[in-house]
Amino acid sequence: MKDKLAQIKDLNIGKVEEDVSLAKYTTYKVGGVCRGIVFPKDTDCLITLIRFLKSENIPYKILGKGSNLLFSSKPYEGILIKLDEFNNVKFFGKTKIQVEAGFPLIKLSMMAAKKGLTGLEFASGIPGSVGGAVFMNAGAYKSDMGYIVERVKVLTPDLKVIYLENKEMNFHYRSSFLQKHPDFICLEATIKLQKGKKEAIEEVIKERKQRRVESQPLEYPSAGSVFRNPEGDFAGRLIEDSGLKGKKHGGAMISDKHANFVINYDKASAEDIKYLIDLAHDTVLKNYNVDMKIEQEFVNWE
């Protein structure tokens, strides 16, 4: 891999980091060493990089803010691509935003609020990138990206840049076209909001932040809610009623504040965290015959 990384550097397409601990780039603060992380400068550089990786049969994955991933402790022998340089944002018309995939979602929510635009309040506590949020159809408070995304600029598997309209994105609860077609890469989203009152929007964001502080273990590394809420119920309730709230394994714990969070409370390994996720899933399935869907993606566990 060393010689391949040298060749990638010679392409002059952006910053390259070698042998990086994935604890640096995931919100769980766990994971093995990644052989190479590349930060392409723009779409042309991204295309050049992927063309090279495909020609060399090197596995690769797009990594956003690492807020919905659990990497194993094994070395990741491929290349991770971070679109942090894709960070342009433009407000246009009266209610629209054109924003690149690497822009932080929370920051975008705050910018919209300051401009008196409503519709992004739900995202004020979601620590992901715009691209990751579109991919996951991230949401909260009975809203999600599918309600506000007008169209998405993507890179296709054959390295063409096209636009997908909202209907083509097939947004559903924590799901999108991109999740089912991971070879498509979100480059940019056009978001349509509504005019609102700045003070009222900021008050909603403030109140929700207070509720999160009171009800979620924000002081510890985690990846947010582990499971989707089953229809008509709450994953946290099912886990708590199964007697697992506060359950520890190694340095990981099912939060005693909110049972749908697994936290890294004391130098946990990825395996500690996965053990508790699997335990919660299997126990709830056994006790209630509810097959809870895991929101997070397990990477490099084969």
Which residues in 5-37 are b (16+ Cβ under 10 Å) and which e? beebeeeebbebbeebebbebbbbbbbbbbbbb
63 beta partners: 82
Name the residues annotated as catalytic. Answer: 174, 225, 295
263 beta partners: 253
Cα–Cα distance measured from residue 222 to residue 261, given in angstroms and rounded to the nearest whole number: 7
Q: With CA atoms as reference, report the closest residue to 204 among 141, 249, 268.
A: 141
- Determine how β-strand 185-192 pairs with β-strand 194-195: unpaired
Cα–Cα distance measured from residue 220 to residue 255, given in angstroms and rounded to the nearest whole number: 9
Cα–Cα distance measured from residue 127 to residue 140, given in angstroms and rounded to the nearest whole number: 12
Is the separation of the CB atoms in 153 and 163 below 8 Å? Answer: yes
Tokens of 170: 């097939």
54 beta partners: none
Tell me which DSSP letter residue 129 carries.
B
